[in-house]
C-alpha cells in the first residue's frame, strides 16, 4: 500500500466517523431530547415521592402549654435543637393568675442544627390558682419570648 492509498483510506474513515456522529446527534435520542426526535416533546421524568416524616410537627414551632393535672402540673412544649433544648430554670409567681418561666442560659456546647419538640413537666408554685393562668417565657437575657395561657 502506498502513502496516497493510506491517506485516502484514513480520510474515508474520518469522513464516515463524522457522518455517523452527525447522524447520531440529529436523531434527538440524546439527553434532554424526545424519544422520536421532536424537540417539542420530551420524555417524562420520573421523580421519587417525598419521604414522609415520622411525626407531624407544628409548622409554626411556637411553644405551647397544656394541663397534665389541672391546678398542679402542666406540660410546656418548646422547639429547638434536640441536643440543646430550652430548659426551665425557675418558676416565678407574678400574681394568682400569672407565672413566669425563667429559661436557663443556652448551652455552651455544640448543638445539632435540627428542629425538634421538647416537653417538660412544670409544677405550679403555691398561690397560682387563678383561671385562666397566664404563662410567660422569659429568656436568660430578661426578654419575654412568649405569653401563653392555661385555661
Q: Say how far apart CA 120 and CA 78 lie, in whole Å.
A: 9
**CB distance 117 to 79 below 8 Å:** yes
Q: Is 32 inside a domain boundary?
A: yes
Is pLDDT larger for residue 29 or for residue 116? Answer: 116
Q: Is residue 97 part of a domain?
A: yes
- Residue 27 cell numbers, joined: 436523531
Tens of pLDDT, residues 28-38: 544 444 455 55
CA angle 125, 81, 137 (to 5 degrees): 30
Query: Do the beta carbons of residue 100 and residue 92 sit within 8 Å?
Result: yes
CB 131 within 8 A of CB 151: yes
Query: Residue 47 falls within a domain, yes or no?
Result: no
Are 78 and 30 within one domain?
Answer: no
Does the predicted model carry a pTM greater than 0.95?
A: no
Answer with the residue of higher pLDDT: 8 or 149: 149
33 found inside a domain? yes
The count of C-alpha atoms lying within 13 angstroms of the C-alpha of 95, restricted to the half-sphere facing its C-beta, is 9
Domain assignment present for 103: yes
**Which three-class secondary structure state does DSSP give residue 24?**
helix
- Shared-domain flag, residues 75 and 136: yes
108 and 143 both lie in a single domain: yes
**Where residue 108 falls among pLDDT bands split at 50, 70, 90?**
confident
Whether 111 is in a domain gets the answer yes
What rounded mean pLDDT belongs to the chain?
A: 78
Domain extent at residue 134 = 64-150
**What is d(CA 6, CA 24) in angstroms, rounded to the nearest whole number?**
27
Alpha carbons 132 and 98: distance in angstroms, whole number: 9
76: Cα separation from own chain's centroid: 22
Same domain for 32 and 88? no
Same domain, 68 and 139: yes
Dihedral class, residue 37 (left if φ above 0, else alpha if ψ from -120 to 50, else beta): left
Question: Domain count of the chain?
Answer: 2
144 pLDDT above the threshold of 90: yes
- Does one domain contain both 89 and 125? yes
Task: Tell me: pLDDT of 93 over 80.
Answer: yes
Band of pLDDT at residue 106, cut at 50, 70 and 90: confident
Amino acid at each position: 500500500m502506498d502513502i496516497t492509498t493510506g491517506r485516502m483510506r484514513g480520510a474515508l474513515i474520518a469522513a464516515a466517523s463524522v457522518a455517523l456522529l452527525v447522524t447520531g446527534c440529529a436523531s434527538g435520542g440524546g439527553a434532554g431530547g424526545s424519544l422520536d426526535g421532536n424537540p417539542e416533546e420530551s420524555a417524562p421524568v420520573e421523580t421519587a415521592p417525598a419521604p414522609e416524616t415520622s411525626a407531624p410537627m407544628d409548622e409554626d414551632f411556637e411553644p405551647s402549654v397544656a394541663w397534665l393535672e389541672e391546678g398542679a402540673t402542666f406540660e410546656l412544649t418548646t422547639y429547638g435543637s434536640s441536643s440543646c433544648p430550652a430548659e426551665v430554670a425557675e418558676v416565678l409567681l407574678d400574681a394568682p393568675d400569672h407565672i413566669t418561666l425563667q429559661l436557663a442560659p443556652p448551652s455552651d456546647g455544640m448543638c445539632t442544627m435540627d428542629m425538634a419538640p421538647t416537653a417538660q413537666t412544670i409544677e405550679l408554685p403555691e398561690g397560682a390558682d387563678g383561671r385562666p393562668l397566664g404563662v410567660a417565657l422569659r429568656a436568660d437575657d430578661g426578654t419575654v419570648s412568649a405569653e401563653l395561657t392555661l385555661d
